[in-house]
Amino acid sequence: MTEKVITEKLAIHGGAKVKTTSFGEGKRFGIEEATQLLEALEQNTLFYHQGNKVKTFLNDFNQLVGVKYSVATSSGTAAIHVALGAAGISVGDEVITGPITDQGTLIGILYQNAIPVFADLLPHTYNMDPAAIESKITERTKAILVVHLAGNPSDMDAIMEIARKHHLIVIEDCAQSYMAKYKGKYVGTIGDYGCFSTNDFKHISTGDGGMVTVNSGDEDDFLKTHAFADKNYQRFGQSVQRDLHYVAPNYRMTELQGAVGIAQLKKLPWICEQRRQFGDRITAGIKDLPGVAAHEVTEGGECTYWFYMLRLNEANLTCTREQFSKALLEEGIPNSAGYIPDVVYMQPMFQARQAYLNSHFPFDITGITYDRGLCPNAEEILQTAIRLRVSEFFTAQDIEDMIAGIRKVEQYYRKK
């Protein structure tokens, strides 16, 4: 690998670009997925309970992460709703979660008529600050919905201790964090439930889909979770039980998704290892720069970088974030200024307190409001972040070029 000589003149000012070759690319799907799909069709059923594909997919997933039980769902959003429903989260309960996430984290909370309560994040791991979680606990709090953002495990020792102390359920949103580890354990296996997504933008894809692990290892918990994803049908006895004691949605995964998932899971360890190495290398390559703060991995953790997000130390730079982002792009390094445009509680749904059209329920149970400044670290993260794509198909040289690009732009704009 060649160390790039930094040319002083930025590409945006007519200098030579740092990156002159295209980024590594690859095909996510191949003959392995096609073979599985054909086998699924040859079963003459695409229903998960009659075929073998979803079952095999779940067995393989359980083995990979080391759990006894998991349930397949139609999406990651569905997986989170299923965990909440199976855990008995219900009307007027409060669920503490993070303000930088996909809205899929929040939808299940509101479908259960529970109330999302946001805890602030740590400034450089972008995960919930355990002290902030504890400060939000009330007598209504029933669960902590931990988001492991961008492949980075949260501080689970501290979170589990708080949960035990206050008798709270812990649900892990691992949609962005396949095979991320915390002190040797995979995320999604530490709390009561772990929720995953196989939508087309995640580490692995089945088009859409999801999984929820049932970490108690208790058969009754598993059966309850399984039924909650399937209209409360209980399919494991002598005959199918359709007695309806409470509402549960239909979030079933089809055999087609299960089939693709079997092939995708075989690629997952490699995908995660590539991303882990690439992300950690970027950090090593930029951590000495005063103008930027690297994406910090939680102590005792291994991050599998769904993306890489650094922050600008604007006090040490003469440029705006938009100038930095544009200059980096001109060097041939695609990036975006920020992640989601704003913290999720600034969404109209929270501002108008309208989860359901023509209603303020369940927000009006407690009269909660969601105001600017609620989670200052999270708000600031989104204002100063630069996000870089990480792909398992990148080459080691691509990563060196990304580092060289960041170093060149930072050096130019650094306050002297």
Ligand X SMILES: *Cc1c(COP(=O)(O)O)cnc(C)c1O
Interface contacts to ligand X, rule CB under 6 A:
75-77, 101-102, 104-105, 147, 173, 175-176, 197, 199, 208, 210
**Which of 173, 192 has the CB closer to ligand X?**
173
Q: How far is the CB of 313 from ligand X (least distance, A)?
A: 26
How do the residues of the chain divide into helix, strand and coil, expressed in percent and rounded to 5? 40, 15, 45
Residues 112, 90: contact at Cβ < 8 Å?
A: yes
Q: How far is the CB of 202 from ligand X (least distance, A)?
A: 6
Q: Least distance in Å: CB of 127 to ligand X?
A: 11
CB of 259 to ligand X, least distance (A): 18
- The residue (of 148 and 224) whose beta carbon lies closer to ligand X is 148
Which one of 181, 202, 224, 408 is the catalytic residue?
202
Minimum CB distance to ligand X, residue 109 (Å): 12
202 is catalytic: yes
79: phi then psi, degrees, rounded to nearest 5:
-55, -45
User: Largest Cα–Cα distance of the chain, in whole Å?
Assistant: 76
Q: Which is nearer to ligand X, 172 or 280 (CB)?
A: 172
E-assigned strands of 250-355? 292-293, 301-302, 307-312, 335-337
* Sole residue written with tokens 């991320």: 180
Residue 214 forms beta bridges with which residues? 69, 193
Nearest to 265 by CA among 56, 27, 37: 56
Q: Whose Cβ is closer to ligand X: residue 71's or residue 147's?
A: 147
Nearest to 399 by CA among 15, 149, 24, 9: 24
- Residues 134-165 as b/e (b if ≥16 CB within 10 A, e otherwise) read bebbeeebbbbbbbbbbbbbbbbeebbebbee
Residue closer to ligand X by CB (options 76, 153) is 76
What is the rounded end-to-end Cα distance, in angstroms, of the chain?
31
When CB distances to ligand X are compared, the closest residue is 76
- Tell me which residues are annotated as active site: 202
